[in-house]
């Protein structure tokens, strides 16, 4: 169990520094170029763990599964993470980190619409609190946050939530680490294809003519210097590879509910790290929004934790009761050995 909490701490640290690391190279790399490197390396880091999980489950990745991974990679990485990188380029790292942490709200909505999941009272409370948190952070009456940054962040959040819900059935069959590694590697191939297509003269001209010059002639290797290469290695191997590996190891050694504390801690830790490393301020309205989002996460998580605790106590009581009936003489001897009060 101790190892599980170490994995949770490491995953929290990796995920909380993601926006900060990406902010330091924002503008140096094209969003698709950056994501290609990040998710190719991250997917390869996760691959040995995924292979071991497939052997344990006696599963094989067939053509249908590959098609599912490719679709998930397109939605959750090629689209969502490109929007996410554009958000980091146009808004403070702390703002992007906290707003993106509200994705459970949209997971809940998509799970209801697509999977017909049941929405319970604590989910509604969490939904309201997290929506209020988003409004508080944006501060629409006196906002100084870039509108494009907000739009990119929320679009990235919504599409990443959709990725999580669409991948639910595949996760049940293969496990989270297999689906994550598979979708990352498929997305890397998709982005490599987009990079190649962006160099075709008709495509480049059409993109430029429609105001999308940012996506015309996307570079593959330019922008790398010793400092940017070190940051990219950290983002690729550390955040995307080791971060997800630690998260899945935390699930294995504790439980999915306990491991989800990672995403509960991130919106509190990421702004503090951005304050100390990037000097980004935390105004009152943002602090209020962080508290509301944390309360929303707690409202959703606490009933599950209490239910698990109750179930654990009931199992322990049943075990003691069963032991008393199975070995009655042992309990009689124990009772007889006690000194009588006079």
Distance CA 282, CA 273 (A): 11
The Cβ of residue 131 has, within 10 Å, a number of other Cβ atoms equal to 15
Give, rounded to a whole angstrom, the gap between the first and last alpha carbons of the chain. Answer: 46
The Cβ of residue 59 has, within 10 Å, a number of other Cβ atoms equal to 14
Q: Is the pLDDT of residue 225 over 60?
A: yes
Query: Averaged over 131-158, what is the pLDDT?
Result: 83
- Predicted confidence (pLDDT) per residue in 66-116, tens digit: 999 999 999 999 999 999 999 988 888 888 888 888 787 788 788 888 888
The Cβ of residue 95 has, within 10 Å, a number of other Cβ atoms equal to 26
SS3 26: strand
Distance CA 222, CA 52 (A): 35
Query: Averaged over 260-265, what is the pLDDT?
Result: 75
Distance CA 301, CA 222 (A): 44
Confidence of residue 148 (pLDDT cuts 50, 70, 90): confident
Percent of residues, the chain, with pLDDT higher than 90: 31
Q: Is the pLDDT of residue 251 over 90?
A: no
Q: For the purposes of burial, counting CB atoms within 10 Å of the CB of 189, is it exposed (0-12), middle (13-18) or buried (19 or more)? A: middle
Distance CA 43, CA 183 (A): 8
Distance CA 55, CA 62 (A): 14
For residue 183, which of 155, 197, 153, 162 has the smallest C-alpha distance? Answer: 162
pTM value is 0.81
**C-alpha count within 13 angstroms, C-beta hemisphere, residue 45:** 21
9-13, 131-135, 307-311, 337-341: the lowest-pLDDT one: 337-341
Q: For the purposes of burial, counting CB atoms within 10 Å of the CB of 225, is it exposed (0-12), middle (13-18) or buried (19 or more)? A: exposed
What was the pLDDT predicted at 176?
87
- Predicted confidence (pLDDT) per residue in 113-142, tens digit: 888 877 778 778 878 887 888 888 878 767
201-210, 267-276, 314-323: the lowest-pLDDT one: 314-323
Distance CA 103, CA 312 (A): 30
- Predicted confidence (pLDDT) per residue in 34-72, tens digit: 999 999 999 999 999 999 999 999 999 999 999 999 999
Q: Is the pLDDT of residue 23 over 60?
A: yes
For residue 242, which of 190, 177, 305, 197 has the smallest C-alpha distance? Answer: 177
- Predicted confidence (pLDDT) per residue in 302-323, tens digit: 766 666 667 667 777 777 766 6
What was the pLDDT predicted at 303?
67
Confidence of residue 325 (pLDDT cuts 50, 70, 90): low
What was the pLDDT predicted at 14?
92
Distance CA 204, CA 1 (A): 53
What was the pLDDT predicted at 332?
54
Residue 27 main-chain phi, psi, to 5 deg: 95, -20
What was the pLDDT predicted at 308?
64
What was the pLDDT predicted at 39?
94
């Amino acid at each position: 169990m101790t190892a599980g909490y170490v994995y949770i701490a490491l995953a929290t640290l990796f995920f909380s520094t993601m926006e900060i690391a990406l902010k330091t190279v924002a503008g140096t790399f094209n969003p698709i170029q950056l994501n290609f490197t990040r998710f190719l390396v991250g997917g390869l880091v996760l691959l040995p763990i995924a292979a071991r999980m497939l052997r344990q489950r006696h599963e094989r990745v067939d053509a249908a599964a590959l098609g599912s991974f490719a679709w998930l990679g397109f939605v959750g990485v090629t689209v969502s993470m490109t929007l996410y990188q554009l958000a980091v380029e146009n808004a403070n790292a702390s703002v992007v980190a906290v707003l993106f942490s509200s994705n459970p709200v949209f997971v809940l909505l998509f799970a209801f619409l697509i999977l017909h999941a049941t929405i319970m009272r604590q989910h509604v409370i969490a939904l309201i609190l997290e929506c209020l948190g988003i409004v508080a952070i944006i501060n629409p009456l006196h906002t100084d946050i870039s509108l494009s940054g907000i739009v990119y962040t929320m679009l990235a959040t919504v599409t990443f939530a959709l990725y999580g819900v669409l991948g639910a059935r595949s996760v049940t069959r293969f496990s989270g680490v297999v689906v994550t590694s598979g979708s990352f590697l498929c997305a890397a191939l998709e982005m490599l294809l987009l990079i190649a297509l962006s160099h075709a003269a008709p495509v480049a001209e059409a993109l430029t003519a429609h105001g999308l010059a940012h996506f015309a002639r996307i570079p593959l290797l330019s922008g790398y210097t010793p400092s940017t290469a070190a940051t990219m290695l950290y983002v690729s191997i550390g955040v995307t590879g080791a971060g997800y590996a630690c998260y899945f190891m935390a699930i294995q050694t504790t439980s999915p509910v306990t491991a989800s504390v990672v995403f509960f801690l991130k919106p509190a830790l990421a702004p503090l790290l951005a304050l100390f490393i990037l000097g980004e301020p935390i105004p009152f309205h943002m602090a209020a929004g962080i508290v509301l989002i944390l309360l929303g996460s707690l409202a959703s998580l606490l009933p599950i934790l209490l239910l698990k605790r109750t179930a654990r106590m009931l199992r322990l009581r049943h075990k003691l009761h069963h032991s008393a009936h199975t070995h009655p003489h042992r309990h009689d001897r124990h009772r007889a050995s006690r000194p009588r009060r006079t």
